[in-house]
Structure 1
Amino acid sequence: MKKVTFSCLTLATLLQLIPSNGNAANIQVNKKKTNRTEMKQDTIPANSTKKESEEGERNVMLNASDANKPREIQIGLPSEDVNVYENGLPAVYSSTVHKLAAHWRSDSSLGEVGLLSPSESAITTGNIAYSVNSFSKLGQKDFQGILNYRTNHFGMQNFDFNVSGAINDQWLYTASIYQNFDPGSFDLEFTNYADRTEIYHAGLTRLFNNGRGKISLLYKHSRSENPASYANAAPFIYVGDGSVKEIDGFKLGTNSYVPQNGSFPYMDVRDGKMKTWNLGNGSENRANEIALISDYRFRNDLLWKFNLKYMDAPRANYVDFGGSTISEVTANDGFTLSNGDPYEGLAEGHRTWLHVGKVKNFLITSELNKTFGNHDLRLGVNEWYYHLDYYSSSLQWMATVQNYPQLLTSTTTSSLDPTLTGQRVQTYGYNELSPEYTKGYENKLALYFTDNWQVTPQFNIYYGGRLEYYRMSADQISASRFPGFRIGDFTTYSKEEETGNIIATQRSIHPAKVVKDKLNYAATLRAAYNVTGQFGLTADGTVATRFPRINEYAGTGPTEEQYKRVTIPLLRGGLFYQNDW
């Protein structure tokens, strides 16, 4: 029997025409101690067993400001990154350069989306954080089709389509297309969309040995341009009571605070050459990923899971905008518009960072799980390799405060000019503000275990530990930044205040190898006691350690004295009440 699901969400109204694919029923099946992937099931889940400490399928909240990105839950502790996992592996290893929303969306390719508790995340990943835990839809006996369509009055259109089913009794398939055309709530004159993202999935699954195991080969391609990540800033007046009011001539939410032409002259930090950055394609991300996920339950009830993936992102670019205090300028300040007319009115200084990256990673997670009496034991290993080729350049500029601000021209000198003659420019301060350069890798090799011990029918103890060998080896720049900073051998010039003489300073800026070999650890202990069938007490404690990561070297980076282990403790306790819903 074929079953097709079609849903349409228009102006926040969901129309469900046919019942959904029945995943809710499968959640109950998944909670049983079994891994047998019977063809009679409606859906073949990617994770056939789940630890008691994991949160089950949840309606994970999305960002209030963006319906396409996961909500970041801040719990007051240092976090590795935006924590989203797909089939037991990071959706993106680090969102610092290759943004999560460029490669992962909560779309119809997923059969299940849940939440990892901070203690579970600390043991299995080394990071204390609430983490989104998602699993791909692999296929099922009957054909299923899902089409979700969303739109809004600004012209956004979102298409999310998946088909899945069985080729025969041993082979399953899945394929998905995600297309987002979002112009935003205001027009960006240099591009058509504030978020243009396309993601494609395809996968084959082989069932074997009478349903005792399965192995899936999954492919993903993503391409995303997301100017909205930097274009959502806007000027306003802070009243002081928690509210804001609009500046005359600028409508919050419907006016743009990005220049119309969308391009800037900048100095490339790698060679010192002046180039032009186009914001239209300066936030482009592209990536290809192939994943192998498998599990097998042996006749002695030992469950083995083995997941790996390789991802290559040859373009991982983005832009950061920063502002400063808005001030009133007059003609005496010397600012002019592009037509040469003197400017008087509100003006703001802007800081901009232009990021260019290439990312590769190879990730493996494998686990063994078996029950011995009242103990549910798990032994796991992570081998996560991440390669980063990344640099950023920075600049500063002054602009009017209005819809589509205009860049203002002012007089400044360049530290690379031997005469230090004043020049009329629109952008200045090149690479003064923490430009970065990193080329190298980091590797995390970790061994972890957990035990879910049902001491009595009322009393449960969950504990675990993790030991991680962390290695980083990368070319980075430790020299202090200054106007005109770049890689290479060159001369800068400055004027002595007392005499007015011009002083030449020889510069030699080159990346140097930084190598770190460190051990991190994590441990957790949780106890829960049911006073009644529904009411009980619970308490848990978790501790994890970490050292600065490869992406945490902005500016000069941490000195050897600053490069110390950070210990992150988490203690929780409270009451719980379980109900039927």
Structure 2
Amino acid sequence: MGYSQNKKATDSIKVAKSDTIQLKDRDTENRNVMLNAGANVGPRNVNIGLPFDGDIAILENSLPVVNSFWPQNPLTVWRYDSSIGNIGLLSYSETAITTGKLGYAVDSYDRFVARNGKFKGYISSKFNHFGLNETSANISSSIGDRKNGWGYTLSTYQMFDPASYTLGFSQQSDRTQFYKLGISKKLKTGTLQFLYSYKKSRSVQSVYQPFMYKGNGETEQLDNFELGLDSYIVQDGLIPFYDKLTGEKRFYDMNSDDIAAITHSIDVLGDFKLKNNWKLNFATRFMKSKAPMSIQFPVTSTLAEDIPASGMSYTLLGNSAPYEGNVQQVSSYYIDPTDITTIMSRLELAGKKGSHDIKLGLQQQYYREDIFKLNTSVYYQTIEPQPKKLTASAYIPAYGMYVPITDEDGIIKAASGGSDVYREDSYLHKLAVYGLDTWAPSNKLDVILGGRIERFESRGKMAPYQDEIVYQDIDGNGIHETKRPLKDFTQSEWNVAGTASFIYKTFNRAGISGEFTYNEIRKDFGSYNSDYSDYIKNKNPILFGSAGVYFNHPLFNVVSKLTYISKRDNVRNIVAYNPSNPSETNTIYPIFYDIETFGWTTDILSNPFKNFDIHFLVTLQNPIYKNFSYDAFGQNYSYDNKNIPELSKVLLEIDPSYKLFNQKVKLWASLRYFGKQYSTLSNALYYNGWWETFAGIDYTYRRKLDLKLDVTNFLNQYGVKGSIIGGELITDSNAYDNKILTGSYIRPFTVSVSVNYKF
């Protein structure tokens, strides 16, 4: 792959000639990847086949932007701004072979100086009616005489996002700033490029919010809480916890730079032409990061009328008067700033030999964490906008009195610290070789063959699960602790991947296609919070297969195919909340299980009349769990053949657009339908189908100025989606009718204006 500004991400694998449909492009180009109904920034999650589990989804200059979502959120180091020259979406097979990862991956490339060395500039600003201001700029030019081949690029990105709700402790929910400086040198046979980046990002998101579950998939907003328009993060932004190592009580302040992620990186990129039209491309990145992370998971809720029968009493923190409103129990995770060193490289040789287009690649990745420390705490808060922390007491019949179960800062003593994770001097190293051959043995047949083999090694020290620092007891003097020795972990294994696909032109306008991809993924230490060495040896093989037909007509093109995806040997832990006593928890680990999806997708592109285009994408799928069961609180729970939460069986996308005034103005819309979606492992609770909608007007003036007006959620619907935290053991749906639950939500009605100017 090349890394210059003229590189098109979608050129990576071509599977058909110009007179046939290009299945790879059809799988990826029409996803509207940056139309995200869940957040103002970042690509959407393509909701097909497999659930998102934090795997890498974004590439920059052909390299993953981060190694792992925990603790480094990709959006702290990557945004789609003026510094990005090209962006695309890699298919399942491309992602598997070129990265060893799973699913669709966003593929982006930085801008560098133009081939002619002329000065170029790009400015982009976006505003919305909630007060968002997102501005970025890029300039590039030759240095001195254009003939000497030297050039520079300079970029900045600034985000001021107050969100659609008002935080009680900060004016900004996302304050992010990026700066990039690049130097390039054009040589006789190619180009060398150097890019330095500094990135700082502090983001606080109200990911989960409360709603009323009415039963039979129906939900409604609470009388005192508007989804997406009210904040569900504690009003003061201060979260108490006991330090993992010292046992001392600490607070993390969500309005402080202490939770800002800071990254320095240097990229060295090269693109060279060799003899016989072969090309050699390489990319290397050295990155140092300090990455904290905080997130709050609302777990169980209690209605005000149920408090007397629950045997609990509550007061507002610092107030002795009883609190008689609705109550939410919250689990908070805080990862102390983690010092991370990342070194990644890719070297690729590409060329043509007869009827074969060949790519051979070498890829390596080194990732090191000095100390990773996850601190947890559990507390109560009010259910209202900008909630307040509570203290709680439980009635003990033997004593005939209420006994405090929280300390003076609201921490639930018995529930905090039980699933903390601690590790030291942990690193992993991956070294892989891969190859792709796009072969056209005849005018009717195109074939792709590819393979990857990867050496995976990791080392470090980790605390045995739930025994790292044993909390002997907690009293007014703090935690009495006993340190246990850390356990060495070591891992050295192989991962392999392979793909084979074809398109056969059966008739002049129609043909058949098929694809099979096998990919092994071995989880690194960041995916485990237990005795690492016992479980890391389990590889996660993924099978992906499809078979379909295509038909081209002057007015429309159709691709229809059957798909199969499976992922085996998954492992997870579950913090189970006893349905009979939500204050009682049990962490179950490890749980092994499989997932499987059969699907049918039909993709239609049509141009029924001049200047009008419409795209339809229909997916029917059945994502289910296999071999998934465990015991908790004296009962066996089995989820075999249950549908996977957060994945709908029916997906529909409709994307019409119309150009007018000599194609200077474009009217467009994007409508996505998500069918019935389960929210618990048992499938006891679910959400009825909903639409996510976008529309806009784009105006281009002399190819220099673009003005865009777009509306998110133009139907002005409130929407609830995703899994219910703490709902793993829910089996009786009737018990949750007319109860308050928490889940994620789609963005509210939002009007945005964007200005893009080239000079």
Q: Do the aligned residues in 1 keep the contact of 2:180 with 2:196 (CA within 8 Å)? A: yes
Residue of structure 2 equivalent to 1:213: 190
Partner of 2:439: 453
C-alpha distance after superposition, 1:89-133 (max 9, x if no partner): 111222221111111011111111011111111111112311111
Q: In the aligned structure 2, how far is the partner of 1:412 from the partner of 1:117?
A: 54
Q: Does 1:139 align with 2:113?
A: yes
- CA contact 1:411–1:424 (8 Å) conserved in 2: no
* Aligned counterparts of 2:151 and 2:407: Cα–Cα separation in 1: 65
In the aligned structure 1, how far is the partner of 2:269 from the partner of 2:364? 15
SS of the residue corresponding to residue 68 of structure 1 reads coil
Q: Following superposition of structure 1 onto structure 2, how do residues 44-83 of structure 1 map, counting pairs within 5 Å?
A: 44-45=6-7, 50-52=12-14, 55=25, 59-77=32-50, 81-83=55-57
Query: 1:115 aligns to what?
Result: 89
What's the C-alpha RMSD, in Å, of the aligned pairs? Answer: 2.9
* Structure 2 contact 9–107 (Cα < 8 Å) conserved: no
Amino acid at match of 2:320: G
Query: 1:251 aligns to what?
Result: 226
Secondary structure in 2 matching 1:317: strand
Q: Which of residues 407, 413, 438 is equivalent to 2:389?
A: 407
Structure 2 equivalent of residue 18 of structure 1: none
Displacement of 1:521 after TM fit? 0.3
Q: What are the residue-to-residue correspondences of 1:180-259 with 2, within 5 Å?
A: 180-209=159-188, 212-228=189-205, 231-259=206-234
Say whether residues 1:512 and 2:487 are aligned partners. yes
Report the counterpart of residue 356 of structure 2 in structure 1: 375
1: CA distance, partners of 2:297 / 2:349 = 46
Aligned in 2, Cα 1:49/1:398: closer, same or farther, shift over 3 Å?
Answer: closer
Q: Which residue of 2 aligns with 1:20?
A: none
Is 1:427 matched up with 2:400?
Answer: no
Structure 2 distance, partners of 1:446, 1:574, is 31
CA offsets 1:374-421 (integer angstroms, 9 cap, x no match): 1112211111011123211001111221122221112489xxxxxx99
How far apart are the structure 2 equivalents of 1:309 and 1:62? 29
Partners in 1 of 2:54 and 2:39 — Cα distance? Answer: 22
Question: What amino acid is the match of 2:379?
Answer: W
Alignment of 1:321-470 (within 5 A): 321-328=297-304, 329-330=307-308, 333-337=312-316, 338-356=318-336, 357-388=338-369, 389-411=371-393, 424-425=407-408, 426-429=410-413, 431-439=416-424, 440-470=426-456
How far 1:539 sits from its partner (Å)? 0.7
- Superposition deviation, residue 138 in structure 1: 0.9
Shift of the 47–330 alpha-carbon distance from structure 1 to 2, 3 Å rule, reads: closer
Partner SS for 2:72: coil
Provide, for residues 7-28 of structure 1, a one-character-per-residue CA deviation record: whole Å limited to 9, x for no partner: xxxxxxxxxxxxxxxxxxxxxx
CA contact 1:330–1:344 (8 Å) conserved in 2:
no
Match of 1:119, SS? helix
Whether the 8 Å CA contact 1:479–1:509 is kept in 2: the answer is: no
Task: Measure how far apart 1:548 and its partner are.
Answer: 2.2
Q: C-alpha displacement at 1:51, in angstroms?
A: 3.4
SS at match of 1:69: coil
Corresponding residue of 2:131: 155
| Aligned 8 A contact 1:263 1:276 in 2 | yes
Q: Which residue of 2 aligns with 1:285?
A: 261
> Bigger relative contact order, structure 1 or 2, given CA contacts below 8 A and separation 6+?
2
Amino acid at match of 1:427: I
Moved more, 158-167 or 317-326: 317-326
Distance apart, 1:533 and its partner CA: 4.9
CA distance in 2, matches of 1:89, 1:50: 14
Find the aligned partners of 2:29 and 2:271 in 1 and give their Cα distance. 20
How many angstroms does 1:323 deviate by?
Answer: 2.2
Does structure 1 conserve the Cα–Cα contact (< 8 Å) formed by 2:281 and 2:349?
Answer: yes
Structure 1 residues 576 and 61: alpha-carbon distance in aligned structure 2, compared to 1, 3 A threshold: farther
| Equivalent pair of 2:10/2:89 in contact (CA under 8 Å) | no
After superposition, give the CA deviation of every residue in 1:456-477 in whole Å (9 maximum; x if it has no partner): 1120110011111100112111
Task: Report the TM-score when normalising by structure 1.
Answer: 0.82
* Equivalence for 1:299: 275
Q: Which residue of 1 aligns with 2:525?
A: 550
Q: Tell me whether 1:311 sits opposite 2:287 in the alignment.
A: yes
- Asked if the contact 2:54–2:69 (Cα under 8 Å) also holds between the matched residues in 1, the reply is no
Aligned-partner residue type, residue 261 of structure 1? D
Could you tell me whether the CA contact under 8 Å between 2:489 and 2:532 is conserved in 1? no
**Aligned residue in 2 for 1:164:** 140
Distance of 2:237 and 2:496 partners within structure 1 = 46
Please give the per-residue CA displacement for 1:318-340, whole angstroms capped at 9, x wherever unaligned.
33333223333249633112321
Equivalent-residue separation in structure 2 for 1:293 and 1:49 (angstroms): 18
Aligned CA distance change for structure 1 residues 48 and 305 (closer, same or farther; 3 Å): farther
Distance in structure 2 (CA, Å) of the matches to 1:88 and 1:252: 38
Q: Show the counterpart of 1:128.
A: 102
- Which runs of 5 or more residues in structure 1 are unaligned? 1-29, 38-42, 414-419, 495-503
SS in 1 for 2:193: strand
Quick check: which one's strand share is greater?
Answer: 2
Q: Residue 364 of structure 1 contacts residue 384 of structure 1 at CA under 8 Å; is this kept in 2?
A: yes
What's the CA shift for 1:442?
A: 0.7
Matches of 1:462 and 1:367, distance apart in 2: 17
CA distance in 1, matches of 2:38, 2:190: 41
- CA, structure 1 residues 60+186, in 2 after alignment: closer, same or farther (shift >3 Å)? closer
> Quick one: structure 1 residues 80 and 364, their matched pair in 2 at CA, closer, same or farther if it must change by over 3 Å?
farther
Partner Cα distance (1:424, 1:387) in 2: 37
Q: Is the 8 A contact 2:515 2:545 kept in 1?
A: yes
Q: Secondary structure in 2 aligned to 1:336?
A: strand
Kept in 2: contact 1:268–1:275 (CA 8 A): yes
- Distance in 1, Cα, partners of 2:488 & 2:422: 12
CA drift of 1:57 comes to: 6.7
d(CA) in 2 for partners of 1:408 and 1:540? 56
Give the unaligned 5+ runs of structure 2: 16-23, 396-402, 558-606, 608-612, 614-759
**CA distance 1:506–1:240, shift in 2 (3 Å):** closer
Distance 2:326 2:87 in 1: 47
**Paired residue for 1:264, among 229, 239, 249?**
239
Cα pair 1:255 1:404 within 8 Å, conserved: yes
SS in 2 for 1:188: coil
Does the Cα contact within 8 Å between 1:46 and 1:138 map onto a contact in 2? no
- Give the aligned partner of residue 576 of structure 1: 550
Change (3 A) 1:188 1:67: closer
Tell me if structure 1 keeps the 8 A contact 2:298–2:328: no
Pairing 1:532-551 to 2, within 5 Å after superposition: 532-551=507-526
The separation in 2 between residues aligned to 1:201 and 1:531, in whole angstroms, is 50
Identical residues among aligned pairs (%): 26
**Conservation of the 8 A alpha-carbon contact between 1:45 and 1:137:** no
For residue 371 of structure 1, report the CA deviation from its aligned partner. 1.3
CA distance in 2, matches of 1:423, 1:100: 35
CA distance in 1, matches of 2:474, 2:158: 51
- Contact 2:247–2:480 under 8 Å retained in 1: no
Per the alignment, in what secondary structure is the counterpart of residue 432 of structure 1? coil
The answer to whether 1:174 aligns with 2:153 is yes
Deviations 1:244-269 (A, max 9, x none): 22223222222222221111221111
Shift of 1:80: 6.5
Structure-2 separation of matches of 1:452 and 1:401? 57
